[in-house]
Structure 1
Amino acid sequence: MPHVSVTIAGRHYRMACDAGQEEHLMRLARDIDTRILDLRGAFGEIGDQRLVVMAAVTIADELAEARARIRALESDIESQRDARASAIARIEASEEEVARTIDEVAERIERLTAELAPREKGNVGMG
């Protein structure tokens, strides 16, 4: 299992991670370090433990917001799927209605053609 050395709030830590996750772990550590530095700049020297807790709460808040956005997006996607299914059903019903109407018109044309055909033969012979 690979190990990575990271620095957070001026302290060095050696951490294990899965193979291939080294750079990801180092990015996460840099993000946490940056957050702590930002908090230290905003609040001054209030103690490392408080700064770490404040950074953790900030990250947890962002995570909660991200999860809420994901749930909202998943709900929107589901609504869009339902709307799409409904639209497809309406299109299919419309297509079936158009097909029935075309069949009815075709049958009517055939009946009219059949009715007119004998008359035309009769008129041709008399003229």
Structure 2
Amino acid sequence: MAQVTITIGGRAYRMACDDGQEEHLTRLGANVDARIDELRAAFGEIGDQRLSVMAAITMADELSEARRRLTEAESAALADRKARDEVAHRLGEVEASLATTVISAAERLEQLARELGPSPSGGVGMG
């Protein structure tokens, strides 16, 4: 298990993480630190604990909004897939109907050709 030191609000915190996750954890710590700095600039020195809670709530709100948007996007993608599948099914039905119509027309043409008999030129090509 790896360990990294992240600095938030001027304080260093030693944290454990899975091997290979050190950079990721360091970036997350930097994001939290930046958020606290933004809140400190907006509200002044109102206490580290209060700034930390405000940062956590702000980030939780952003996460909640991202999850809501992801759920909406997943629902839209599912609806799109269903619509695409319905169109593909309908296209299959139209193709089958068209094939049946073409076969019927070909059979009718063959029947008409038999009824008309051989061509006057004896079946030789036009020319």
TM-score (norm 1): 0.92
More helix by share: 1
In structure 2, the residue matched to 1:49 is: 49
In structure 2, the residue matched to 1:90 is: 90
* 1:60 corresponds to 2:60: yes
* 1:73 corresponds to 2:73: yes
Matches within 5 A, 1:1-127: 1-117=1-117
Shift of 1:6: 0.7
Shift of 1:78: 0.5
Counterpart AA for 1:60: A
Shift of 1:82: 0.5
Q: For structure 1, which segment, 111-120 or 13-22, has the greater mean C-alpha deviation from structure 2 after superposition?
A: 111-120
Number of corresponding residues:
121
Shift of 1:23: 0.2
1:72-108 Cα deviation digits (max 9, x unpaired): 0000010001001100011001100110100110010
Question: CA–CA distance in 1 between the matches of 2:96 and 2:120?
Answer: 36
Report sequence identity in percent: 54
Post-superposition, which runs of at least 4 consecutive aligned residues in structure 1 deviate over 6 A? none
Question: CA–CA distance in 1 between the matches of 2:110 and 2:22?
Answer: 77
Shift of 1:118: 5.7
Shift of 1:119: 8.4
Q: Closer, same or farther in 2 for the Cα pair 1:5/1:116, shift >3 Å?
A: same
Long gaps (5+) in structure 2: 122-127
Question: CA–CA distance in 2 between the matches of 1:53 and 1:119?
Answer: 95
Counterpart AA for 2:15: M
TM-score (norm 2): 0.92
Over aligned residue pairs, what C-alpha RMSD do you find? 1.3
